[in-house]
Structure 1
């Protein structure tokens, strides 16, 4: 599948993504392409290396290897391992600890559910406080229309690999779970610093509380041509009002 790496939501992974896809086009399997062109702290291996019955997260923690299938989902997972190595290792550490303590079980439980949600669909936001206030209030008109100019000083960065996979074929209702802690302004656009900061914020107590706020990402100014018209945000099926108390 052709991926439009120039899209703003791919900015954090585009360079490595192009290199990995070029290597795949030359015949390299995805795990080898990732290891060569987007190396992370752990080695990507074929999905066949995961023994039947062993939990994926426990295998990663035990072997320092990430089972990888030949699909977009795992391509983006590998790219996030490359871009956010410390944070991905922390999420895996928490998953493995929970599995060791409680077993796999029929359901993940609140902590593992929250970790999985973060891993699959989270986004990080560095933004001025007026944007954060509007986002927390789900005041879409304020966030995207009245405060539109403030987005020039903001950056939204997808972290979840399932979120990136959806954005490979974008549609209006794609919604990220924005991590409720603002990325410090002092970090600027240094994504290695973002990773180091994020890894220190990911702990079991915080994640159990599900510290997320929803954001329909194609509402971000500059991310979608249609959102230049304020009427774009009148779609209440996508830009949902806050729940009644």
Structure 2
């Protein structure tokens, strides 16, 4: 078993809140190909929604061809034997429509701007979403506090409101960071009315993405996500829970 698959298996023994939505599919992946590569494990676990796509070794990517263009052209997802690509694959298995839409938009931008070329705001936002997004559906008081960077209002005054909220980690780089948690880990939050693969894919409006309609959220401040945030003074750390610039 590769170290990445072994690490995922260890994490599943004591799953954290951020991993909860992925326990079933992650368990399939972790046990799918114990003597094979990450790509092998992901291919074994993929379902009908990914029949036309497959995970391949990183060496299959031709030199000079952009990763996103290669996926769009071939239906093959280059995959290294590391946690970063393992979590990327986990997102493909969990949110295939959303990952396809991200890939389509990236490929369109590459075709328009060329490679190398100016990335532009849309490509930058697509990368942020893919690597570091967290998806949030929440009651209005929480959303207002988050937009205002009112951290004590968000995490203390409105603490009980989190029971009615749902926060799902989507970015695979963000998931990798959370295996070794530290207080300052911050997600780019994408606010939605519903969390499903179909609705999330539909929310990827290019104009909204290009405007970088994200909200910063130190995810380990979320009630129940890290025991340390029960301690008095946890949210007093201004290096993590920063005020808006106009107030700083």
Give TM-score scaled by structure 1 length: 0.92
Counterpart in the other structure of 1:218: 220
2:21 alignment partner, one of 12, 21, 24? 12
1:31-67 deviation digits (Å, cap 9, x = unpaired): 1110112446221111111000000000000001100
Partner Cα distance (1:54, 1:31) in 2: 20
Structure 1: tracts of 5 or more residues without a match? 185-190
CA contact (8 A) 1:145 1:230 kept: no
Indicate the SS of the match to 2:21: coil
1:12 aligned counterpart, secondary structure: helix
Whether 2:58 is the aligned partner of 1:53: answer no
Task: Confirm or deny that 1:37 pairs with 2:17.
Answer: no
Q: How does 1:109-124 map to 2 (within 5 A)?
A: 109-124=120-135
Number of aligned residue pairs: 235
Does residue 27 of structure 1 match 2:35?
yes
Q: What whole-Å deviation, never above 9, does each CA across 1:116-150 have from its counterpart, x for those lacking one? A: 00000001011111000000101000000001011
Q: Does 1:133 align with 2:144?
A: yes
Provide TM-score, normalisation by structure 2.
Answer: 0.91
Q: 2:90 aligns with which of 57, 79, 84?
A: 79
Aligned counterpart for 1:160 among listed residues 171, 181, 194:
171
How far residue 106 of structure 1 moved from its aligned partner, in angstroms, is: 4.8
User: What SS class does the counterpart of residue 177 from structure 1 fall into?
Assistant: strand
Q: Deviations over 1:46-92 (max 9, x none)?
A: 11110000000000000011000000000000000011111110010
**Unpaired segments of 5 or more residues in structure 2?**
1-5
Q: Secondary structure at the match of 2:115?
A: coil
| Post-superposition offset of 1:98 | 0.6
Equivalents in 1 of 2:98, 2:16: separation in Å? 24
2:76 and 2:205 mapped to 1: Cα distance?
22
202-211 or 104-113: bigger deviation: 104-113
What SS does structure 2 have at the residue aligned with 1:244? helix
Name the residue aligned to 2:3.
Answer: none
Alpha-carbon distance in 2 for matches of 1:153, 1:200: 23
Task: Give secondary structure in 2 for the equivalent of 1:150.
Answer: helix
C-alpha distance in 2 between matches for 1:59 and 1:13? 27
**How far apart are the structure 2 equivalents of 1:145 and 1:71?**
37
Structure 2 partner of 1:207: 209
